Amino acid sequence: MNIGEAAKASGVSAKMIRYYESIGLMPGAARTAAGYRVYADSDVHTLRFIRRARDLGFSVEQMAELLKLWSDRSRASADVKRIALAHVGELEAKMRALQEMARTLRHLAAHCHGDGRPHCPILEDLSQGHEPAPPPARRARRAAAGMA
């Protein structure tokens, strides 16, 4: 099949297929005498693997390692599990960071009058370029009481 058909069958755009080939994540496709890429069902299967790994947020480096393990029938599943759990840790750290950003923005928005006056604590905080604003007093009281 051609690249458009492979893209449709795998859910990976033709542009991304070319990119994955260029970085070596996927082997270069066979070519016709005219230079057109030709893909086999096994290539589409690999592209679906990459698509699913990408949907789960794995980095290109992690995807390369997973693809290598996938093709190695003598692999240890512990190696795959190690990669997956390391990625879970990264995702959880990102979630905590996003939750902290949301708390900070909620706190700043709660202290912005949102009226016609020019004073705005949100813009003031952004202009200071410092660490995030302290959490709301209620959270601080709960933390002090050991209920955080």
> Cα-Cα-Cα-Cα dihedral of 66, 69, 70, 73, to 10°?
-170
Query: Residue 70: inside a domain, yes or no?
Result: no
Task: Indicate if 44 and 88 belong to the same structural domain.
Answer: no
pLDDT at 141 over 80: no
Mean pLDDT of 95-119: 93
| Tens digits of residue pLDDT in 1-47 | 999 999 999 999 999 999 999 999 999 999 999 999 999 999 999 99
Task: Indicate if 107 and 51 belong to the same structural domain.
Answer: no
Task: Indicate if 91 and 140 belong to the same structural domain.
Answer: yes
CATH number of the domain at 2, please. Answer: 1.10.1660.10
pLDDT of residue 135: 55
Between 146 and 38, the more confident residue is 38
72 dihedral zone (left: phi>0; alpha: psi -120 to 50; beta):
beta
Using CB atoms within 10 A of its CB, is residue 1 exposed (0-12), middle (13-18) or buried (19+)? middle
pLDDT of residue 129: 82
Residue type for position 109: A
Task: Indicate if 46 and 93 belong to the same structural domain.
Answer: no
Between 114 and 22, the more confident residue is 22
Query: Residue 68: inside a domain, yes or no?
Result: no
Number of domains the chain contains: 2
pTM for the complete prediction?
0.75
The SS3 of residue 38 is strand
Spatial distance between the Cα atoms of 147 and 104, rounded to a whole number of angstroms: 19
Whether residue 71 contacts residue 50, with contact meaning beta carbons closer than 8 Å, is answered with no
| Tens digits of residue pLDDT in 63-95 | 999 999 999 999 999 999 999 999 999 999 999
Which structural domain range is residue 89 located in?
A: 76-148
Task: Indicate if 53 and 112 belong to the same structural domain.
Answer: no
Tokens of 45: 């299967």
Whether residue 3 contacts residue 29, with contact meaning beta carbons closer than 8 Å, is answered with yes
